[in-house]
Amino acid sequence: MLESIDLSLPRKSKQRVNVEQHCLARNIVNIIACEGKERVERHELLGKWKSRLTIAGFRQYPLGSYVNFVIKSLLRWYPEHYNLVEKDGAMLVGWKDRNLISASAWH
C-alpha cells in the first residue's frame, strides 16, 4: 500500500500529507499499539465479513455496472498498477497483484 501512495502522490503534496496523517497514521498506531477494547481497526478478509453478514441474516445485493464504471473512471487518474476486479459479488481495488480494499452491498 505504501508503494502505491509513493507512486501516486508527490511527497510534499497536501493530499499525501492528509492521507498519511488522517488515514494511515491512525490505522498503523491502532494495529501495532492497541489491544482489546482499545483496538478499533480490525482488518479482515472479505470472506469473513461475508460469512458474518450472512449469519446475521443479511443477503448480498449486487453492485451495478454504474459503480464499476465510476470506480474504473476514477482509477484512470492514478498509476496503471491500480486495478478493479469483480469477485463473488464484491468489487476489489488492488495495487499490482494485491487487493487493498473491497466493497459490497448487503440488505
1-55 per-position pLDDT tens digit:
566 767 676 778 888 777 777 666 676 666 667 787 776 666 788 999 999 999 9
Range with the lowest mean pLDDT among 14-18, 56-60, 93-97? Answer: 14-18
CA gap 98, 48 in Å, rounded:
18
68-93 per-position pLDDT tens digit:
999 999 999 887 888 999 998 999 99
Q: What mean pLDDT comes out for the span 60-70?
A: 92
Segments making up each domain of the chain, as ranges? 1-43, 44-107
- Given a cut of 90, is residue 106 above it in pLDDT? yes
pLDDT value at position 90?
Answer: 94
3-state SS, one letter per residue, for the chain: CHHHHHHHCCCCCHHHHHHHHHHHHHHHHHHHHCCHHHCCCCCCCHHHHHHHHHHCCCCEECCCHHHHHHHHHHHCCCCCCEEEEEECCEEEEEECCEEEEEECEEC
